[in-house]
Every structure is written in C-alpha cells, then in structure tokens.
Structure 1
Amino acid sequence: MQKLLVSVVAIVALLAGVVIFNSLPQPQPQALVYEPPREMEPFMLKGHNGGDVTNADLTGQWTFLFTGYTSCPDICPTTMADFKKILPQLASVTSQPVKVWLVSVDPKRDTQQKLAAYTTYFGKEFLGVRAEHKNLYPFVNGLGLMYSIPAEGEVDYLVNHSSAIVLVNPDGNRQAIFKAKQTPGQVPTVDMQQMAEDFQIISQQYR
C-alpha cells in the first residue's frame, strides 16, 4: 500500500512538473519568423555546377540564402567565412541537411566558372546561384532582399545589396529572415551566434 502511494505521488508530481514547464514562457527567436511560412514564387536559376536550380532544390533541407558577389570586398567573404565556421553547429540541431546559397547579384562578372571557384572553396554545403537580371531581380525581390544594378558600360563597380540572410524550410518556404547589425564604422553583418541560437529554436518548432 505504501509503495502504491509513493508511486501515485511520484506520477502526480511528474504531471505537475510537465504542466508547469509547458506554462512557462518558451524561448523566442530574435529573427523575424514568418507565421505561417511564406511560399516561394516559381524560379529557375543556374547553379555554379551549370545545372538548373528551381524550387525543388530547396526541399528536404534547411537553406540559408543571401545576396553577394565574388568581387565583393567585405560583407560577402566575411559572411561566407562565418558560415563555414558555424555550419557544424547549425547541422547539429537538425536531422535535415543544412545548405548555404550565395545568390550572385553580379551576373556580368560572375560567370559560372568564377562562381564555382569562389563557392566551392568554402565547402560542399555551399551553392552559388546566378541568373541574368530579368530572372534574378524578381527572385531576390521575392526573398525580401535588394541589390543595385550598375549603369551600362561600368567596369570597375561595387554592387550595393542586402546583408540580411533568409532561411528557407524543408518544404521550400521562407521561414525567417535574419537582419544584419548596423554598427557605425563597421561592415553590417548578421550575428552568426545569435542566428545559430534562433535556428535551434526555429528548427525544433518546425511542424
């Protein structure tokens, strides 16, 4: 009888603990999370390997997308290097593959070969994608990002572009966007450690 009483008390205590835990405020990501996730418009780009890249290539994986170009002097190489460092941490919190897409916003200079050499340096999880402006601009705009198009005839130019990072879920829909920190005198970049912490929360809450 005493053993039964102890068991009942233990079960009641466990259930009470579960109820209390579920009633506590759950951690929330600092990123802008889309609820519900936003569908991606149909697109067709080219990968750095020469193959077509469509919506289907976003499914079955978590994908981080950001705009950049191989001649970029600051934001792009910094973001790529930061991603290379943080990828093991990102991959450790989900059973789905984690990929990174560099969306080139400089189709004039970023040929397939140049983009391939640049992207593959960072690892097999990275994919460089490109397109001419007529297909590229709607795709980038659909992500909630932007970039500038140089004037006709310009040769040595910089491309202004968003420094935010977009997260696409395994269904191929936009799940969140990570904004860059704006610090006077410094290159605006996304806080990768905060992004990793947010991603853990987002991936755990997925479905």
Structure 2
Amino acid sequence: MTRTQKAVFILVAIVALALGFIVYRTLSETDQGDQTAFVDAGIILLPQSRAVPDLSFTDQDGQPLSLSQLKGKWTLLFFGYTFCPDICPITLAQLRQIKSELPADAVANLRIVLISVDPDRDTSQQLKQYLGYFDKQFVGLRAPVETLQKLANAVSIPYFPADTSKPNYTVDHSGNLALLGPDGTQRGFIRAPLNTQKLVAQLPGLVERK
C-alpha cells in the first residue's frame, strides 16, 4: 500500500467514524421513524446545518458561478472527475437513474453538481461533453485546487490533489455526496455506494423540506 493509499484509507476511516457519530446523534435527537428510513437509504442528516463558504467556480458553459447561486433547491455535490476510471461514471449513471425514477416535483427541487477534482484536465468543454453522456441538466464546476480543498474541507468530503506530472494520473477522492439544502447550508451526506431504489423512495420526502 502506497503512502497516498494509506492516507486515503485513514481519511475514509475517520469520515466513517464521523458519519457513525452523526447517525447516532440524529437518531437520538429527531423523529426516529423518518430518520431510520433515511439512514437505511444512505441519507445522513446533520443534527445542525453547516455553513458553506461562498466560493467561486466556473461552470461547464464557461460561466462564473458562486455557491450561493445554488440556493433555492436541494443540491447533491459529487466530487469527481471526467478521467475517473470507475467510481465517477458509475455514480453519475446511478444519479441519472435515480433522477429518471423520481416524481416530477421532486426532480424540480433537486440539482446534481459534479465538482471536478481534476482542474488541469477538466476544462469547461470537457465537463460539458462528459456530463452530456449522463444528463444535460447535471452541472459541472471547476476551480483552482486551493478552492477545491476549501470546499472539500468545509463539507467533509476528502480528496487528495494528484501529482499531475505523472502520465495518466488518477485522483483519490471519496464517493460520498454532500447534501446542501435550499438555504445553501450543508444538511448532510449521502453515503457511497448509492442504493438507487431506496434513494428513489426517500428523496421525494427529503426535498419537500425547507
């Protein structure tokens, strides 16, 4: 196991422990009926919402976009990249399937955003073409590594910037999704791997919340 792989393993373990603590507190402090169903679907709600810094990005159309512009809908933030060999295409395909099976009013209240952790290769044009293979309504955002790390730290989604000097490099990142509410704060996480059918059943009730 390389040093990077060990670091990823340790970070994933820490995140898993943190999520376990959040699950315990959430089930202890809120209505257990709804929360148990959410947790079973992989939806982990924070006991208290968490502020997200209003960072600036560029979207897949080359237009500037700040995180505050994501307000008004529930947003699923997925940290990934277009050259990812496995987890990213699988996750995006699952999100496409989930969206296709949700009722129209739930779809209208939900936004899916790919935050690229590979800004060197993921140009706006590359993001637009790649996301178009899955769903043209998916949003792709890119920014300098410093901005990406600030956001990843703020929403507790670990990733390691790659050594871009190596040919065909890969980027180590978590498969968890950050869940932002309509007010722009982080409300929780969706754990990887995604359970598509359970998420289809539970997301409509979640996105009805304010």
Which TM-score band applies after superposition, normalised by the shorter structure?
0.7 to 0.9
The whole-number CA distance in structure 2 between the counterparts of 1:48 and 1:95 is: 20
Cα 1:203/1:97, change in 2 over 3 Å: closer
Q: Partner of 1:167: helix, strand, or coil?
A: strand
Structure 2 unaligned segments of length 5 or more: list them: 1-30
- The question of whether the paired residues in 1 share the 8 Å contact of 2:97 and 2:196 is answered with no
The whole-number CA distance in structure 1 between the counterparts of 2:32 and 2:174 is: 33
Question: C-alpha offsets along residues 75-118 of structure 1, whole Å, 9 cap, x if unaligned?
Answer: 10011111111103345453843211011101111111111110
Question: Which residue in the other structure is 1:120 paired with?
Answer: 132
Question: Which residue in the other structure is 1:161 paired with?
Answer: 173
Question: Which residue in the other structure is 2:99 paired with?
Answer: 87
Q: Partner of 1:106: helix, strand, or coil?
A: coil
* C-alpha RMSD of matched pairs (Å): 2.0
Aligned residue pairs total: 175
Q: Partner of 1:26: helix, strand, or coil?
A: helix
Deviation at residue 146 of structure 1 after TM alignment: 1.4
Question: Which residue in the other structure is 1:191 paired with?
Answer: 195
Cα 1:93/1:56, change in 2 over 3 Å: same
The whole-number CA distance in structure 1 between the counterparts of 2:34 and 2:122 is: 41
- The question of whether the paired residues in 1 share the 8 Å contact of 2:77 and 2:114 is answered with yes
The whole-number CA distance in structure 1 between the counterparts of 2:161 and 2:127 is: 18
- The question of whether the paired residues in 2 share the 8 Å contact of 1:104 and 1:129 is answered with yes
- The question of whether the paired residues in 1 share the 8 Å contact of 2:115 and 2:141 is answered with yes
Structure with bigger helix share is 2
- The question of whether the paired residues in 2 share the 8 Å contact of 1:27 and 1:201 is answered with no
The whole-number CA distance in structure 1 between the counterparts of 2:136 and 2:91 is: 16
Q: Percent same amino acid among aligned pairs? A: 30
Q: Partner of 1:32: helix, strand, or coil?
A: strand
- Provide the TM-score with structure 2 as the length reference: 0.75
Question: C-alpha offsets along residues 127-176 of structure 1, whole Å, 9 cap, x if unaligned?
Answer: 11111101111112212101112225222111110000112111111122
- The question of whether the paired residues in 1 share the 8 Å contact of 2:163 and 2:169 is answered with no
Q: Partner of 1:158: helix, strand, or coil?
A: coil
Deviation at residue 64 of structure 1 after TM alignment: 0.9
Name the stretch that deviates more: 146-155 or 75-84: 146-155
1:45 equivalent to 2:57? Answer: yes
1:149 equivalent to 2:174? Answer: no
Name the stretch that deviates more: 41-50 or 51-60: 51-60
Structure 1 unaligned segments of length 5 or more: list them: 1-23, 181-188
1:105 equivalent to 2:117? Answer: yes
The whole-number CA distance in structure 2 between the counterparts of 1:61 and 1:91 is: 15
The whole-number CA distance in structure 1 between the counterparts of 2:73 and 2:109 is: 5
Q: How does 1:9-24 map to 2 (within 5 A)?
A: none
1:26 to 9, 33, 39: 33
